[in-house]
Amino acid sequence: MPKIRLEPVRGMRDIIPPDSNEILWLENSFAEVARRYGYEYVILPVVESFKVFEVKSGPEIRRSMYVFEDKAGRVVCLRPELTAIAARVYLRKLQTSPKPVKIFYIGKAFRYEEPQRGRYREFIQAGVEYIGEESIYADAELILLIRDYLKYIGLNEYSVKLGNMAIYRSLFNAWGIQEDVQDEIIHYIDKKELGKAVDIVSKHIANGAEIIEGLSKCVGSDPDELLKCAERSGLPKELINTHVSRLSKLLSIIRELGVKGAYADLGFARGLAYYTGIIFEVIPKGMSLSIGGGGRYDTLISTYGGPKTPATGFALGIDRIHLALKNVGKVFRDEVVKIALIPLIMNYRVIDEVASRLRGEGAVVNVLLRSRLSTAISIASSKGYDYIAIIGEKEVREGVVTIKNLRSRRQRSISIKKLTLGELP
Ligand code: AMP
């Protein structure tokens, strides 16, 4: 027999129960909350043309991509994120739909990064895109959706860091800095390597360093104080009145709506080069990694050849959310009734009738074939089942099923024709 290596490829993970069940619940819960906000599900390709990301993703993402040629010589990649693909699909298939277009996705993303706890080469992103609306209330809605999702799954302590890329883009444009150099400066600001960012800026403008350093000190949750701090930094008045005041307004809206951990940071930038306006990141208490991030990308769709279309969106990292929940000791409870059905004789019609009646009410019914009764009971207990249901010769003869509650130890014989969850002991 040929031997294979049993470990997965570096950075990939084999996820089994209970983790996999918990992750499925996190995904389903996300779909539930996103649908409540009117977002519709899209299924996007995992393999995508590299060009889709080459144009606007920025050096950070490109460096960590899985890029290869397919058999026909096309340069393709495993998607490192899904927003760029959503923008492409919007242009190809959703452009004529009434606006705004609100879509959500849940799926794998791949980045060739150094693996560590919470950072994998293959991970799950759940996200939404809100396309065709420029108002600040669209950005606010994204954060409220995150608020509701995190509440739904029981992650209550987190902060939301807000920034506005328009401040930097407008400043750099006014200083005549070319776009690729802008991307590089933003990359350094994102990586908190302010020294390197300032070195480049100083080559272009005399008091540039002062402003960049001044902005990096403006961090806080008070919307008015943010405006004052921006003034102290020497940022031109018109940029304060437009971009900082937009950020300050968003901050005050979402704080008023119960996002207690929200604060703004004028020194905050995100590496993805397509962001043009409001950006944000969600960081759970006690963790240094973000569990989600997003922002406005008003020029991405036109970069792809479409009309100028405002858009905003975010992606949450489901693997990291799972980690964060485990860190706070979350107990993932299975809400459904779980029943182990133990046939002592193989009367498959009766087995199916009993199982179907209970499954029809939403119960999990696991038929344990060829087990001895004692083995079956210990399997059922160790897997956290609530009941065992026994079908032996006597039960078949009398048209009943014997059901035992594994917690209370109570037991009853119930007529199969009258079997419902309400009858269980
Ligand atoms: P980004 O667009 O890079 O901010 O990614 C959005 C979210 O995806 C992050 O906040 C993380 O929760 C998640 N994420 C990004 N990269 C990884 C990774 N390598 N491993 C696990 N989760 C990730």
Query: Could you tell me the distance, in angstroms and rounded to a whole number, from the CA of residue 317 to the centre of ligand 1?
Result: 5
Query: Could you tell me the distance, in angstroms and rounded to a whole number, from the CA of residue 292 to the centre of ligand 1?
Result: 7
Predicted local confidence at residue 308, as pLDDT: 96
Query: Could you tell me the distance, in angstroms and rounded to a whole number, from the CA of residue 241 to the centre of ligand 1?
Result: 32
Mean pLDDT of 400-412: 95
Predicted local confidence at residue 335, as pLDDT: 82
Predicted local confidence at residue 273, as pLDDT: 80
Please identify, by atom number, the ligand 1 atom nearest to the C-alpha of residue 81: 2
Mean pLDDT of 364-379: 89
Note the Cα 108 to chain centre separation in Å: 10
Residue appearing with tokens 């739904």:
152
Query: Does the pLDDT at position 128 exceed 70?
Result: yes
Please identify, by atom number, the ligand 1 atom nearest to the C-alpha of residue 320: 12
Please identify, by atom number, the ligand 1 atom nearest to the C-alpha of residue 125: 8
Question: SS3 string of 49-113?
Answer: EHHHHHCCCCHHHHHCCCEEECCCCCEEEECCCCHHHHHHHHHHHHCCCCCCEEEEEEEEEECCC
| Residue whose CA lies nearest to ligand 1 atom number 16 | 119
Q: CA dist 193 to 70, 165, 188, 267, Å?
A: 37, 17, 5, 11
Share of the chain above pLDDT 90, in %: 88
Are 416 and 423 spatial neighbours (Cβ–Cβ below 8 Å)?
no
Residue appearing with tokens 């600001």:
189
Query: Could you tell me the distance, in angstroms and rounded to a whole number, from the CA of residue 109 to the centre of ligand 1?
Result: 9
Give the model's confidence band at 183: pLDDT under 50 very low, under 70 low, under 90 confident, else very high: confident
Mean pLDDT of 64-86: 96
Pairing type for strands 47-49 and 219-220 reads unpaired
Give the model's confidence band at 58: pLDDT under 50 very low, under 70 low, under 90 confident, else very high: low
Query: Does the pLDDT at position 137 exceed 90?
Result: yes
Query: Could you tell me the distance, in angstroms and rounded to a whole number, from the CA of residue 242 to the centre of ligand 1?
Result: 30
For a ligand 1 pocket test, name from 53, 106, 125, 191 the mutation site with the most ligand atoms within 8 angstroms of its C-beta. Answer: 125
Mean pLDDT of 369-373: 82
| Residue whose CA lies nearest to ligand 1 atom number 2 | 293
Query: Does the pLDDT at position 180 exceed 90?
Result: no
Please identify, by atom number, the ligand 1 atom nearest to the C-alpha of residue 317: 12
Mean pLDDT of 88-113: 97
Query: Could you tell me the distance, in angstroms and rounded to a whole number, from the CA of residue 261 to the centre of ligand 1?
Result: 20
Predicted local confidence at residue 333, as pLDDT: 83
Mean pLDDT of 342-368: 96
Predicted local confidence at residue 1, as pLDDT: 66
Predicted local confidence at residue 204, as pLDDT: 87
For a ligand 1 pocket test, name from 121, 290, 297 the mutation site with the most ligand atoms within 8 angstroms of its C-beta. Answer: 290
Query: Could you tell me the distance, in angstroms and rounded to a whole number, from the CA of residue 123 to the centre of ligand 1?
Result: 8
Q: What is the DSSP string of 297-338?
A: -TTHHHHTTS----EEEEEEEHHHHHHHHHHTT------S-E
Q: Which residues line ligand 1 (CB under 6 A)?
A: 81, 111, 113, 119-120, 123, 125, 290-293, 315, 317, 319-320
Give the model's confidence band at 27: pLDDT under 50 very low, under 70 low, under 90 confident, else very high: very high
Predicted local confidence at residue 59, as pLDDT: 61
Query: Could you tell me the distance, in angstroms and rounded to a whole number, from the CA of residue 236 to the centre of ligand 1?
Result: 34
Mean pLDDT of 69-92: 97
Please identify, by atom number, the ligand 1 atom nearest to the C-alpha of residue 282: 10
| Residue whose CA lies nearest to ligand 1 atom number 10 | 292
| Residue whose CA lies nearest to ligand 1 atom number 18 | 119
Mean pLDDT of 37-60: 89
Predicted local confidence at residue 151, as pLDDT: 97
Mean pLDDT of 193-201: 92
Mean pLDDT of 353-372: 93
Give the model's confidence band at 334: pLDDT under 50 very low, under 70 low, under 90 confident, else very high: confident
Query: Could you tell me the distance, in angstroms and rounded to a whole number, from the CA of residue 246 to the centre of ligand 1?
Result: 26
260-306 pLDDT, tens digit per residue, is: 999 999 999 987 788 999 999 999 999 999 999 999 999 999 999 99
375-386 pLDDT, tens digit per residue, is: 988 999 998 999
